[in-house]
Amino acid sequence: MAADRRRWWILALGMSAQAASCVFLYGLPYLIPDLRHQFGLSLTGASTLAAAPLVGVIVALVAWGAAADRYGERVVITAGLAIAAGGLIAEEAGALVTGLDGRPASPSFTVAAGPGLYQELTEALTALNPERDADPE
């Protein structure tokens, strides 16, 4: 009976992880009109920005696949989880100690984004007014 519960728990975790990655990877292109409007990007620039996470995932999958072939799946999965957890813990601990309210403690903790990007994105997303997209009646 306990094995059945564990199977459903693992299925729910896997489904949640897959849904989160799909929202991130395939939800970003829906923001292209707002990215163009807010940042003055061309269609090519906004599309490149929306496709960048998918390119990163493909490169990472090839690298993690090669590592899994060499060292074994369990070692690679455990290492990946440990690296991700360690990075998140270090970032949050640095932000709490320095009083940065969730921002990275230093640019070295920011892997894919430059320093100050979090504040700029927050300001940009706050400035977006959903009523501007409503049809005038």
Each residue's pLDDT tens digit, 24-76: 888 888 888 887 888 888 888 888 888 888 888 899 889 999 999 999 999 99
**Any domain includes 58:** yes
To the question of pTM greater than 0.85 for the whole model, the response is no
For the chain, what percent of residues have pLDDT higher than 90? 13
**Alpha helices per DSSP H over the chain:** 2-27, 32-39, 43-71, 73-98, 117-127
Task: Count structural domains, the chain.
Answer: 1
Could you identify the residue written with the tokens 């292109």? 29
Contact 129, 73 (CB under 8 A): no
pLDDT of residue 5: 83
**Any domain includes 84:** yes
**Any domain includes 36:** no
**Any domain includes 57:** yes
**Any domain includes 103:** yes
